[in-house]
Amino acid sequence: MEGGVGPAFFRELLGRFASGVAVLTTRTPDGSVAGMTASSVSSVSLDPPLLSVCVDLSAEIHQPLFDVGMFVINILADDQEELSRRFAAKGTDRFAGVGYRTVEAGLPVLNGTVAHIECRVQHTFPAGDHSIVVGRVVGGRVEERRRPLIYYRGGYGGMTPS
């Protein structure tokens, strides 16, 4: 179907949906690490345990994600805004000076997050200029004492303690 709102109004509309911020990480077939900031993470199914993330067709991580078929969702804490900016910026070595460890199959897990979720690619769907990547959740870990970074209307904030 043709038509639809323009990109500026689209961003204004969708910007009203507050979200957490994640860094999607994977590795390349030759064993180096790759990562990209992503806020399009969504819970999909409980049984089987599935989540989705939408990845720009032109993002560097798109091909390794499809090649390797595994990824990690690193959910950023409220003191990790710099990591969100870094993993969305062009022309930098994103992992330089960043604390991380590797888990199963060499997947990078960032330090200091609220949680990380380990996934195997289960389905992919083309959707406009992105791919919807559905992952089966195969592992992960939560850190109880940290609070999440929040993204809203193109800016960052934290969650007020309840």
Ligand X SMILES: Cc1cc2nc3c(=O)[nH]c(=O)nc-3n(C[C@H](O)[C@H](O)[C@H](O)COP(=O)(O)O)c2cc1C
Positions that interact with ligand X (CB under 6 A): 21, 36-40, 54-56, 59-61, 84, 88, 90, 130, 151
CB of 85 to ligand X, least distance (A): 7
Tell me the CA distances in angstroms from 20 to 23, 118, 125, 152, one per residue in order.
10, 17, 23, 9
Residue 50 or 162: the one with the smaller Cβ distance to ligand X is 50
Residue 104 or 147: the one with the smaller Cβ distance to ligand X is 147
CB of 97 to ligand X, least distance (A): 18
Q: Would you give the end-to-end CA distance of the chain in angstroms?
A: 44
Q: Check the CA dihedral 112-117-121-125 and report its sign.
A: negative
CB of 47 to ligand X, least distance (A): 25
- Per residue, the 3-state secondary structure of 58-109, as one string, reads CCCCHHHHHHHCEEEEEECECCCHHHHHHCCCCCCCCCCCCCEEEEHHHEEE
Residue 67 or 104: the one with the smaller Cβ distance to ligand X is 67
Residue 37 or 74: the one with the smaller Cβ distance to ligand X is 37
Residue least distant from ligand X (Cβ): 40
